[in-house]
């Protein structure tokens, strides 16, 4: 065996209370473990969010014993494989520090053989409180880097952790600590597969597929790499040099079964397996030619997605993490939510930049279901640093994330951030310097995409206009994509959607309450009033319920009773989004996409989502299935 899996049972404790040992599971997070142990109330119930904040200031440790065999120790190199480590953590093996982690989006791979011995060993992850770490980093850096007031953890934009974990205008403040991906010790003789992907050249009834294995070697040595694809096998003998090596071979696929977005054909996938003398990796490959078309036309400057020569009208919504407690982000939850998208005639999901690069299963499911992914990089509604240390940290995460995701047919585009260009106006006296810093960071993001996935398009921001234009594009319906919030935040009625003709609207939304069934799971019956303490706590938007009430007066009568209030808010939400989508679809090919805000929730809350926390559809999701039909009935 060349691999030791460390997933499963661990022990959790905080340095502030080291005698209290808590049974826990990794991959997982501290809040889930505390809830399961009865030491923390359900964070989602009532106003418990306030009570659980004390846990984010503690130093959490995860530890366990494990057994190392003589066979594993006989291999020359042993690596500890880590990713999704959230966030500042020192890793100890047999109480020797082997790795420092400080980026929740990066991967870490220390060589640890010298720290191990046959038989029983110990490993411990020692996490440091995020508030203190972020404050130290901010003080050392100096300067002023404001972020959205919806995030209640100060300086969170200066560290690489999901900024929405500090709260958002739809989100709970739940700053978890843990590891959310498998934990392994792997043994290697020399070579290890770092990435598997393809480069594709499409011709009439034929695709030339160049299968590429990126292989890391500690030292120079011979290796035979086996490729299996489309019923054919290739052996490539090579001499590996220290560092990264590219080994590749070419397959020709005649009469290919192409990968198509949902509604345009079947999302066909071909398994590609790459093997070395000690390991094997398989990827599901979609054969498709995807182009992002940005060109001048009679309306301005386009943004549209062309797949296999067909211009696709993008139909979908914006995605946030599906649960604030990472342990609850299970494959079953992803499958259920993304199936709701598929059967509602959606063909695109935008992964929003204030959350996380999603787990592998998210992209695998999108591949299978024909759901294109607009992938934001993880920057949102903030001014970010652009010093050399911050850029090095970001580049490290992108080297991992782009390599991890570049084999997926679903990934349609990389986008630098969500709404960060607009934030430059927060400090008008510093705007020019801030713009230069923004361009510096953005150029580093673009360069990583060009280096590691040159066939993918990089877009500087959402919203933004023409490539290279660093003006905010919120209200520009001539170029690129726009975010249109004049109906909810601006207080205009639904007819305002008819006043614009977007090229691509990647954010617009209207709030509604969850159903009574969902409300009953977090609100005691004696507080069944939208202005009660619990219901008010589960309304995070600074505007509160006023936009909903004002629009009731315009389009309906004020409802009688709590249940009717919840229900009518969903009717109104569905009407709002239907108005925009149906009109903008008539503008094709001027408008080539609508992604409404937002698809899902990360806890039970009044929000813009079309699917309630837990997976139940709001009326908007039922309406989306209709207004996203190939032909609107």
Is the entire prediction scored with pTM above 0.85?
yes
pLDDT at 1: 56
Query: Under a CB-based contact definition with an 8 Å cutoff, are residues 162 and 535 in contact?
Result: no
Place of tokens 């500090």: 166
473 has pLDDT over 80:
no
pLDDT at 470: 80
pLDDT at 36: 97
How many H helices and E strands in the chain?
14, 35
Query: Under a CB-based contact definition with an 8 Å cutoff, are residues 231 and 255 in contact?
Result: no
Q: The tokens of 561 are what?
A: 């009773």
Distance CA 35, CA 435 (A): 44
471 has pLDDT over 80:
no
pLDDT at 277: 87
- Would you tell me which CATH number, out of the four given (2.60.40.10, 2.40.50.100, 2.60.40.420, 3.60.15.10), belongs to the domain 191-285? 2.60.40.10
Distance CA 384, CA 22 (A): 37
Distance CA 381, CA 374 (A): 18
End-to-end, the C-alpha distance of the chain in Å comes to 58
Query: Under a CB-based contact definition with an 8 Å cutoff, are residues 341 and 621 in contact?
Result: no
* H or E stretch covering 244: strand 243-254
pLDDT (average), residues 480-497: 96
* 474 confidence band (pLDDT: 50, 70, 90): confident
Distance CA 461, CA 459 (A): 6
pLDDT at 469: 81
- pLDDT tens across 122-167, in order? 999 999 999 999 999 999 999 999 999 999 999 999 999 999 999 9
Q: The tokens of 181 are what?
A: 């991906």
* 92 confidence band (pLDDT: 50, 70, 90): very high
Distance CA 476, CA 296 (A): 15
509 has pLDDT over 60:
yes
- pLDDT tens across 310-343, in order? 999 999 999 999 999 999 999 999 999 999 999 9
Mean pLDDT of the chain: 96
Q: The tokens of 564 are what?
A: 């009717």
Distance CA 511, CA 597 (A): 9
Query: Under a CB-based contact definition with an 8 Å cutoff, are residues 82 and 109 in contact?
Result: yes
pLDDT (average), residues 242-257: 97
Distance CA 434, CA 424 (A): 6
Distance CA 417, CA 406 (A): 18
Q: Which CATH architecture has domain 3-185?
A: Sandwich (2.60)
Indicate left, alpha or beta for 172 from its phi (over 0: left) and psi (-120 to 50: alpha). Answer: beta
374 has pLDDT over 90:
yes
pLDDT at 60: 98
pLDDT (average), residues 390-415: 98
pLDDT at 424: 87
- pLDDT tens across 183-192, in order? 999 999 998 9
Q: Tell which residue, 470, 497, 580, 505, has the closest CA to residue 304.
A: 505
Backbone angles phi, psi at 447, to 5 degrees: -65, -35
Q: Which residues of 110-125 are buried (b: 16+ CB within 10 A; e: fewer)?
A: bebeebbeeeebebbb
pLDDT at 633: 82
Structural class in CATH, domain 304-627: alpha beta
Place of tokens 């020709």: 252
77 has pLDDT over 60:
yes
* 613 confidence band (pLDDT: 50, 70, 90): very high
| Domain parsing of the chain, residue ranges | 3-185, 191-285, 304-627
422 has pLDDT over 90:
no
- pLDDT tens across 3-55, in order? 999 999 999 999 999 999 999 999 999 999 999 999 999 999 999 999 999 99
Q: Give the 3-state DSSP-derived string for 56-84, with helices as H, strands as E and coil as C.
A: HHCCEEEEEEEEECHHHHCCCEEEEEEEC
Name residues whose C-beta falls within 8 Å of residue 330's C-beta, 6 or more positions apart in sequence. none
Distance CA 408, CA 411 (A): 6
pLDDT (average), residues 47-74: 97
477 has pLDDT over 80:
yes
- pLDDT tens across 278-297, in order? 899 999 999 999 999 999 99
């Amino acid at each position: 065996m060349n691999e030791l899996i460390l997933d499963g049972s661990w022990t959790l404790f905080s340095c502030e209370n080291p005698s209290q040992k808590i049974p826990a599971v990794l991959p997982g997070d501290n809040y889930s473990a505390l809830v399961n142990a009865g030491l923390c109330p359900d964070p989602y119930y009532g106003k418990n969010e306030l009570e659980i904040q004390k846990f984010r200031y503690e130093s959490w440790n995860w530890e366990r014993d494990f057994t190392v065999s003589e066979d594993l120790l006989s291999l020359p190199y042993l690596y500890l494989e880590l990713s999704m480590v959230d966030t500042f953590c020192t890793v100890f093996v047999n109480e020797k520090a082997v790795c420092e982690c400080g980026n929740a989006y990066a991967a870490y791979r220390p060589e640890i053989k010298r720290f191990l011995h046959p038989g029983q060993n110990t490993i411990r992850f020692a996490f440091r409180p995020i508030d203190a770490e972020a404050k130290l980093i901010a003080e050392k850096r100096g300067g002023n880097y404001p972020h959205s007031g919806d995030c209640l953890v100060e300086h969170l934009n200066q560290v690489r952790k999901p900024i929405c974990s500090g709260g958002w205008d739809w989100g709970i403040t739940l700053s978890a600590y843990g590891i959310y991906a498998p934990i392994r010790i792997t043994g290697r003789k020399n070579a290890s597969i770092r990435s598997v992907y393809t480069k594709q050249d499409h011709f009439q009834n034929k695709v030339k597929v160049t299968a590429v294995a990126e292989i890391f070697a500690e030292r120079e040595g011979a290796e035979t790499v086996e490729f299996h694809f489309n019923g054919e096998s290739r052996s490539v003998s090579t001499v590996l040099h220290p560092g990264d090596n590219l080994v590749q071979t070419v397959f020709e696929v005649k009469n290919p079964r192409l990968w198509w977005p949902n509604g345009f054909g079947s999302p066909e996938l071909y398994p590609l397996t790459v093997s070395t003398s000690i390991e094997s990796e398989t990827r599901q490959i979609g054969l498709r030619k995807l182009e992002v078309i940005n060109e001048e036309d009679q309306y301005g400057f386009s943004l549209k997605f062309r797949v296999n020569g067909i211009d696709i009208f993008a139909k979908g919504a914006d995605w946030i993490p599906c649960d604030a407690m990472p342990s609850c982000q299970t494959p079953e939850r992803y499958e259920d939510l993304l199936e709701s998208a598929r059967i509602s005639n959606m063909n695109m999901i935008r992964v929003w930049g204030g959350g996380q690069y999603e787990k592998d299963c998210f992209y695998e499911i999108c591949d299978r279901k024909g759901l294109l992914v607009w992938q934001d990089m993880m920057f949102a509604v903030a001014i970010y640093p652009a010093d050399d240390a911050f850029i090095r940290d970001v580049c490290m995460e992108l080297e991992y994330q782009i390599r991890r995701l570049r084999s997926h047919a679903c990934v349609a585009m990389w986008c630098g951030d969500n709404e960060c260009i607009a934030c430059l106006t927060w400090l008008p006296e510093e705007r020019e310097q801030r713009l230069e810093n923004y361009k510096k960071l953005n150029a580093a993001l673009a360069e990583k995409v060009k280096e590691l996935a040159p066939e993918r398009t990089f877009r500087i921001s959402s919203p933004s206009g023409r490539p290279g234009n660093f003006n905010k594009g919120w209200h520009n319906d001539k170029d690129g994509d726009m975010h249109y919030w004049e109906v909810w935040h601006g207080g205009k009625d639904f007819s305002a959607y008819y006043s614009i003709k977007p090229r691509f609207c990647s954010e617009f939304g209207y709030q509604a309450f969850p159903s009574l069934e969902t409300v009953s799971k977090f609100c005691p019956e004696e507080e069944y009033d939208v202005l009660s303490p619990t219901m008010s706590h589960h309304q995070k938007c600074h505007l509160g319920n006023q936009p909903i009430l004002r629009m009731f007066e315009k389009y309906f009568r004020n409802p009688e009773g709590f249940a009717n209030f919840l229900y009518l808010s969903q009717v109104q939400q569905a009407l709002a989004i239907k108005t925009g989508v149906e009109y903008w679809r008539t503008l094709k090919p001027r408008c080539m996409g609508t992604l409404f805000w937002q698809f899902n929730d990360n806890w039970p809350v009044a929000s813009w989502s079309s699917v309630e926390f837990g997976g139940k559809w709001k009326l908007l999701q039922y309406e989306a299935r209709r207004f996203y039909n190939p032909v609107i009935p």
